Structure 1
Amino acid sequence: MNTAPATVTVRHARPGDYAEIARITVDSYLHAGHFDDPTHPYLGRVRQVADRHDATDIWVAERDGRVVGSVTVVRHGNEYADVALEHELEFRMLVVDPAAQRSGAGAALLDAVVAHARTLEGVSAVSLTTGRDWAAAHALYRKAGFRHVPERDWYVPDTDILLLVFVLDL
């Protein structure tokens, strides 16, 4: 019997993927304990995948023909960019279905973002925002060479939620 893990393919999202991207994003945030309430306003916003895709690039990780993760990729000045400086490519909402976590899908998405950034003229770094206590995400980013840049950390408006900024210089 072949027990080798299935290959993860990263590709651009298509409209037929939107419902699964929304489900995976919400499920992964709830599973990780980032939110307690599935009706939280932010989770409502991330469910609007078609609107987000109109303004950004969204990629999916696919295994055996099934979407198991996604990431949103933006440039400085985009309405979805939180922290990107002019020379940075930013990614947001890198999520993997809780049933497929620790399978390489998150690393495949991250590698694809970094490889893409290296092809862009004028881009010399990749940036992201992550939650203060999101240890698994921090480990993935550090393993890929990202460093925490505390002087760029910021609070979600009107909350006490501190978000950390990580950067990878290319």
Structure 2
Amino acid sequence: MSEVVVRPARPQELSPVGALTVAAYEADGLLVANPEYVHELSDASRRAEHGELLVAVNADGELLGSVTIVRPGTEFAEISRDDELEFRMLSTTPAARGRGVGEALTRAVLDRARELGLRRVVLSSLDAMKAAHRLYERIGFTRLPERDWQPVPGCWLRAYTLDV
């Protein structure tokens, strides 16, 4: 993980971040249940405008992944409540998987919650994202089943939480 640096996305990276996010979801077949989601995934500019957009890069500045951080009540918030930070659209390029990118991005979200003085981080994850669930649980997230939900019929999102 030492080769991975997490930082805020730069304006010139927004279009590539959108493409990276879509490619990551497509590689895992995650857009089948909700193909319209591609529009939200690809619009990194809008995500950066209404939240915080972090990227993971290698020593050469190559984009390896990204994550969107949102506060409760904002445009991209889904399940967060007062005193919680939520993250969405965690994505890693297929070529960078297994190199700690997802973990580095997730830990950066936890650090950001601490910086903001918040007590908890929450997220929703597609039921099919088994590798992501293993990552979250290894870091210490636990299930929050009372906040599970369906954005479209048949597309279940599992909620997770971690007190920071």
Same fold (TM over 0.5): yes
- Aligned position for 1:90: 86
Count of aligned positions? 163
Match of 1:24 among 14, 20, 26: 20
**Residue 156 (structure 1) aligned with residue 156 (structure 2):** no
- Aligned position for 1:50: 45
- Aligned position for 1:34: 30
Match of 2:69 among 68, 73, 76: 73
Measure the CA separation in 2 of the matches of 1:118 and 1:133: 29
Q: Percent identity?
A: 37
- Aligned position for 1:12: 8
Q: SS of the residue aligned with 2:13?
A: helix
Moved over 6 A (4+): none
Q: Any unmatched runs of 5+ in structure 2?
A: none
Larger Rg: 1
Calculate the TM-score normalised by the size of structure 1. 0.91
Calculate the TM-score normalised by the size of structure 2. 0.94
Offset at 1:52? 1.7
- Aligned position for 1:169: 163
**Residue 59 (structure 1) aligned with residue 92 (structure 2):** no
Q: SS of the residue aligned with 1:156?
A: strand
Deviations for 1:58-98, whole angstroms, at most 9, x for unmatched residues? 00000121011000001111110001011100000010001
Instruction: Work out whether residues 6 and 57 of structure 2, in 8 Å CA contact, stay in contact via their aligned partners in 1.
Output: yes
AA matched with 2:156: L
Measure the CA separation in 2 of the matches of 1:11 and 1:151: 32
What is the alpha-carbon root mean square deviation over aligned residues? 1.6
Instruction: Work out whether residues 69 and 88 of structure 2, in 8 Å CA contact, stay in contact via their aligned partners in 1.
Output: yes
